Structure 1
């Protein structure tokens, strides 16, 4: 008789747990208490959410393509490194500015004659290190919605080549 009471107790406990879990699932599917929230589609990435760029930023998106990130106010605190690779002893990066909606390529620890290229779809910009003593080279910017779309490649004066994934 005692064993039957224990089994019934645990069966009731499991039943209550299932009811609580079901109630939670059906009332919190969208994460905000709205059961239909999970069914909504996300906004189109081509619809920009910002109305104006931050102070000091002189361009955004396609208006920045072909321009210098530093001169347009898109670098500094507004930039992050989206991808990195090493080519020889040179570091290759895809730099990304969310505020400007742009990406560009950068090489560091390079030498004169090293070149860097950034590609987003069919858009391509090239830059490099030209002055003696310089070790950093940049490409002009390319408009991009997602930094994962950008790829940077480097060709070093030594002949070594490589790209970010």
Structure 2
């Protein structure tokens, strides 16, 4: 009986944590420090630099289909694009300057075959605006508002 109660309590606690979004895999570790700031983050991964901790979505796509999000880290002063519910071959870009996609002003990622999500490297968002674009396999392009 004691084992059954322990299993029930453990299962209930796990369910509550999962529903609240605070599972150990989702929680940002306390005291995480970022490894870059502003232009020093350009081209780097938000996950490997710690910039993804405490980041927030500041813009979303308004198109029906894949969810494209412009993510921003106030600690790193950098932005990147994340896409979910996409198809292999869809391409996303994080931009912070007009014109052609150039190094340090634009980073792209393509959703791999069999996958449905991806994210770009970061662009500097310190004192300048950034935005994201989605290039669908069918040729359609949609972009977020700048932030």
Provide TM-score, normalisation by structure 1. Answer: 0.60
SS of aligned partner of 1:89? coil
Q: What is the deviation of 1:86?
A: 3.4
Select the structure that is richer in helix: 1
SS of aligned partner of 1:70? helix
**Contact 1:87–1:161 (CA<8 Å) still a contact in 2?**
no
Give the corresponding residue for 1:139: 120
Cα RMSD (Å): 1.8
| Higher RCO (C-alpha 8 Å, min separation 6) | 2
**Contact 1:87–1:160 (CA<8 Å) still a contact in 2?**
no
Give the corresponding residue for 1:116: 92
5+ residue gaps, structure 2, are 1-30, 99-104
- The structure whose Rg is larger is 1
- Runs (4+) of structure 1 exceeding 2 A deviation are none
C-alpha distance in 2 between matches for 1:126 and 1:85 = 16
Matched, 1:69 2:50: no
C-alpha distance in 2 between matches for 1:146 and 1:105 = 18
Provide TM-score, normalisation by structure 2. Answer: 0.67
Q: What is the deviation of 1:156?
A: 1.3
Q: Deviations over 1:76-122 (max 9, x none)?
A: 3x201111113441111110000011001111110110110111125
Counting matched residue pairs gives: 109
